[in-house]
């Protein structure tokens, strides 16, 4: 069986406070979002583009993230993409793509320049 590559690495700032939960089996998971900004060019003009990514972390790493990650903290997330599908109340199929983090690097705090 052939397997395909599914790898993502994103650097950005944590947008919301991570929320720690546990499955019925006692497995920890944490969710938070990361904002990633990059420079793009539109019609020859320099523009800043920000993308927001939902991140899910499992196990011991989820507990560490919920304890030490705070809104605004810079991180590098590496993991894989996962698409979730469900039906809403009207019966329409909805989808969402999340990053399933396999590693979270906490970047040093940056001091504000005077």
For 8-106, which CATH superfamily applies?
A: Nucleic acid-binding proteins (2.40.50.140)
Residues 2-58 pLDDT 10s: 789 999 999 999 999 999 999 999 999 999 999 999 988 888 889 899 999 999 999
Instruction: Determine phi and psi for 49, rounding to 5 degrees.
Output: -120, 130
Residues 59-75 pLDDT 10s: 999 999 999 999 999 99
Calpha distance 106→32 (Å, rounded): 14
Query: What's the pTM value of the predicted model, to 2 decimals?
Result: 0.85
Selection from 30, 29, 38, 42 nearest residue 11 by Cα: 38
Using alpha carbons only, how large is the chain's radius of gyration in Å?
17
What confidence score (pLDDT) does residue 25 get?
96
Q: Reply yes or no on whether the pLDDT at 112 is more than 70.
A: no
What confidence score (pLDDT) does residue 39 get?
87
Return the domain boundaries, the chain.
8-106
């Amino acid at each position: 069986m052939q397997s395909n590559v599914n790898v993502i690495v994103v650097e950005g700032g944590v947008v919301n406070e991570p929320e720690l939960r546990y499955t019925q089996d006692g497995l920890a998971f944490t969710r938070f979002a990361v904002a990633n900004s990059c420079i793009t060019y539109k019609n020859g003009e320099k523009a800043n583009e920000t993308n927001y990514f939902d991140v899910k972390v499992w196990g011991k790493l989820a507990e560490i993230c919920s304890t030490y990650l705070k809104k605004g903290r810079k991180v590098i997330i590496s993991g894989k993409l996962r698409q979730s599908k469900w039906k809403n109340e009207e019966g329409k199929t909805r989808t969402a793509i999340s990053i399933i983090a396999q590693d979270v690097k906490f970047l040093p705090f940056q001091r504000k320049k005077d």
